[in-house]
A and B are shown apart, each in its own frame.
Chain A
Amino acid sequence: QVQLQESGPGLVKPSETLSLTCTVSGASVSSGSYYWSWIRQPPGKGLEYIGYVYYSGSTNYNPSLKSRVTMSIDTSKNQFSLKLISVTAADTAVYYCARDKGGNHFDFWGQGTLVTVSS
């Protein structure tokens, strides 16, 4: 069974960098059939797509976040990562990693991790 697990600090100070890692089991991030994605959800609100990283290292970012986002992939550890710079309170959200099947929909999700931006 495919499982994804987010990890990283739950509290980040304003203007600093949010860093999260997603560890994948039951599937290989080296597979060319999937795109490894990040999605976030502010408390009580809807879902916002952040972007994906492909096994080759190519990326696609939501234009609204593109200037602050970097994603990377580590095939040796079967992990992928998210960095979001210059965070503000508006970046407080539950961050999910997910598997994007074929560049369309998200068939497996991590449980999510709450990241709060506060001093």
Chain B
Amino acid sequence: DIQMTQSPSSLSASVGDRVTITCRASQSISRYLHWYQQKPDKAPKLLISFASSLQTGVPSRFSGSGFGTDFTLTISSLQPEDFATYFCQESQSTSYTFGQGTKLEI
């Protein structure tokens, strides 16, 4: 099984900050890595697919990078609506493992 490890588990930041969240796979997953944002009591929302492809309608302050085992999600200038939990998800395997999540707090 592929294990996905996110760091940090939680992060305190301020509006305007630049933040980076990391996701590490236990084995190479090429670019089969996707990022989601989840707000309280809401379903996750797809932000980025295949490591770096921004979904339609997602602000350009979000970006993703990486290949193989190490990936990052960067928010260039935090906005109030960005405070949420972020999850990565691999699709190299058919188990579609998610990371444990990173809670971004004010």
Contacts and interface: CB of A to CB of B under 8 A. Distances in A.
Partners in one complex: yes
Interface of A: 46-49, 60, 62-63, 96, 98, 101, 103-107, 109-112
B64 interface: no
Given A47-B101, A98-B43, A105-B89, 18 more contacts: A46-B87, A46-B98, A46-B99, A46-B100, A47-B87, A49-B96, A63-B1, A96-B44, A104-B50, A105-B46, A105-B49, A105-B91, A106-B34, A107-B46, A107-B55, A109-B44, A111-B43, A112-B43
7 contacts: A49-B95, A49-B96, A49-B97, A96-B43, A101-B49, A104-B32, A111-B42
Contacts of B96: 49, 62
A6 to B, nearest CB: 10
Contacts of A109: 43-45
Interface of B: 1, 32, 34, 36, 42-46, 49-50, 55, 87, 89, 91, 94-101
A90 B94 CA distance: 23
Nearest to B50: A104
Contacts of A49: 89, 95-98
Given A47-B87, A49-B96, A62-B95, A106 B101 contact: no
B98 A47 contact: yes
B44 A47 contact: yes
Nearest to A104: B91
A56 to B, nearest CB: 16
Top 6 A-B residue pairs of the complex, sorted by shortest distance between their CB atoms: A109-B43, A105-B34, A49-B96, A104-B91, A47-B98, A46-B100
